[in-house]
Copies of this chain bind each other. A is one copy, B any other.
């Protein structure tokens, strides 16, 4: 049996529930993190906690993230998770009048899941009919539990036989996919949309920008720039770097596999380095 840690209480997975009055349920009023667990170690745990803490501050949810580390350790042991997913969600909890919250007690949910299937071959992107929620409307660089834009875009991609959706921002600039960041290579320079485009400040995005041996530029550009890209790949902490083969129905195609592998290998090396340097604590 798998367990969930709900407000620091171990609960069998199929019994974990929250009040319907929780603002997480009523309004999607919360923040979450998804971590990859490799060899029983949650990769870049500190980085995720720092983003979670900042996100909670920005949306003004009171929650001390300090105790989450020990709670995660406890749950990973309990569920004997070796390789998989660790998800931490914090919502504002119950209380308030309509949209105005009261002094609420945050709800924390920590859960694990098996590693999802990751496509082995290069993937297709569907050019979404939805645009991204702009950073002027929500602090979208954090993982907010406001997932309807991603859900609708992902469903549309799936309807069209594509693995993921490419979502543009209001200015028509490339932003990200429903669940990942995007990169492209052109003239040996690696490009990824700037945070000002309204993209998630993804952990894998940050790692690639840190480790890449080529020049990296943050861009505010439309899809026409992809026509001359030599490779396109999408990233999140579960996929690492997934090569993209085409943009549908736009028609652009790339041979992304070889170039993506370079970055995927960098990430896999970093996972190993992280396990060596941080693994003992877990």
Q: Is the CB of A16 within 8 A of B18?
A: no
Cβ-based interface call for A127 (8 A): no
Cα A27 to Cα B155 in complex, Å, equals: 14
Which residues in B have their C-beta under 8 angstroms from that of A45? none
Residue of A29, A99, A145, A178 contacting most chain B CB atoms (<10 Å): A99
Which residues in B have their C-beta under 8 angstroms from that of A24? 25, 28
Cα A131 to Cα B111 in complex, Å, equals: 33
Cβ-based interface call for A149 (8 A): yes
Name which residue of chain B comes closest to A87, CB basis.
Answer: B26
Name which residue of chain B comes closest to A24, CB basis.
Answer: B25
From B19, B101, B147, A155 is in contact (CB under 8 Å) with: B101
Cβ-based interface call for A130 (8 A): yes
Stretch in A65-73, A132-140, A218-226 with 4+ CB within 8 Å of B: A132-140
Interface SS of chain A: mixed
Q: Is the CB of A26 within 8 A of B147?
A: yes
From B4, B32, B134, B154, A99 is in contact (CB under 8 Å) with: B154
Give the copy number. Answer: 2
Cβ-based interface call for A276 (8 A): no
- Measured CB to CB, the closest approach of chain B to A160, in angstroms, equals 13
Proximity bits, A100-138, B CB within 8 Å = 1, else 0: 110000000101000010000000000000111110111
Which residues in B have their C-beta under 8 angstroms from that of A144? 148
- Measured CB to CB, the closest approach of chain B to A133, in angstroms, equals 5
Given contacts A26-B89, A133-B137, contact A100 B154 (CB under 8 A): yes
From B4, B146, B153, A20 is in contact (CB under 8 Å) with: B4
Cα A4 to Cα B25 in complex, Å, equals: 15
Query: Which A positions have Cβ atoms within 8 angstroms of B?
Result: 4, 6, 14, 16-29, 32, 59-60, 89, 91-92, 97-101, 109, 111, 116, 130-134, 136-138, 144-155, 158, 170, 178-179
